[in-house]
Amino acid sequence: MSDAVIFYDPIFEEHKTGYGHPETPERLPVALKALEESGLLGQVEIKAPRDATVEDIELVHTSAYIAQVQSMAERGGGHLDMDTALSGDTYDAALKAAGALLDSVDGCLDGSFSRSFCLVRPPGHHALPMRGMGFCIFNNIAIAARYAISRKGLSRVMIVDWDAHHGNGTQDVFYDDASVLYVSLHQYPHYPGTGWVDEVGHKAGKGYTINFPFPNGTGEEHYYEAFERVILPAGRKFDPDFVMISAGYDSHEGDLLCSMRLNDRSYRRMTDYLTGLADETCDGRLLATLEGGYNLGAQARAIVQTVAGLAGVDIPGKDEGTQPTAYVDRANEVILEAARLQGLD
């Protein structure tokens, strides 16, 4: 068995979003089938996660908002906004989704494993302290980072968010905080409308937020350049105690909601960049958690490549040609400005 694990529980599929909603329960069984067919499930153990407690969720969210989610679920469901649906099992699923990341932190720190993939839903990176939005209920990765720092005694956590939508919730939680380096590569302009390159943090957190608001049609060569020119040097300078990935797959060229040009192998290479950084800085401690991704087949293949990277094994992927970036000058400008703001020009 490899030194990586997957966290999953069937309760995640009981979070029902309604007919035609893109964030569908089918995302997980399709991914599990692809992982099985790839042979990875013979090498990577699946673990059932614990439930996060209310006190854990309160590391990020207000008690009033948590009570609102619980009450709405107990009444059979409803909507936090036009995009964000709850069903009767959503509260339980959301507690267990956050719990998967807490188990990941604990397992990495106690030496049970060094890397994990949290195959969870509902996703989290849009959720703000006082409200959910963008399909997200509780901000799983923000809760995990706060838990690692406030409960486990770590000093610095790095979060890399490669979802095609900006993780406005995660940015908001840590915008004034120098203990978390938040990096987002996303399509701009696009939902939720945040994440411009000059959003770099505030007060003590100034310089600890890095945004790459790429134009639609950005391909893998510019993602790789962002990693090599800015993200990896900034990560080495930050010297994290833990690396976390908001692993959204809507930046895949086949996605239904976004217009980026990554392919299956792009996610393997980005995973390799971050496992290498984690090996350099924090004894390999790394977790990834599922965020977006709405083409079931493309997401499943990309998850296989991510988990293969975490496990350090090679899994043949779909033979895809590189899609060039549509707006090269604009993508270059984003990287150059992000580098300048980090003092890396």
Residues designated catalytic? 126
Residue identified by tokens 């599990």 is 32
Residue identified by tokens 């406030």 is 150
14 burial via Cβ count (<10 Å: 0-12, 13-18, 19+): middle
Q: What is the C-alpha to C-alpha distance for residues 103 and 113, in angstroms, rounded to an integer? A: 11
Residues in CB range of 124: below 8 A, 6 or more apart: 97, 98, 136, 137, 138, 139, 140, 141, 142, 143, 169, 170, 246, 289, 291
Residues in CB range of 204: below 8 A, 6 or more apart: 176, 177, 178
Residue identified by tokens 């069903």 is 87
Q: What is the C-alpha to C-alpha distance for residues 143 and 165, in angstroms, rounded to an integer? A: 19
Please, what sign has the CA dihedral across residues 50, 100, 132, 61? positive
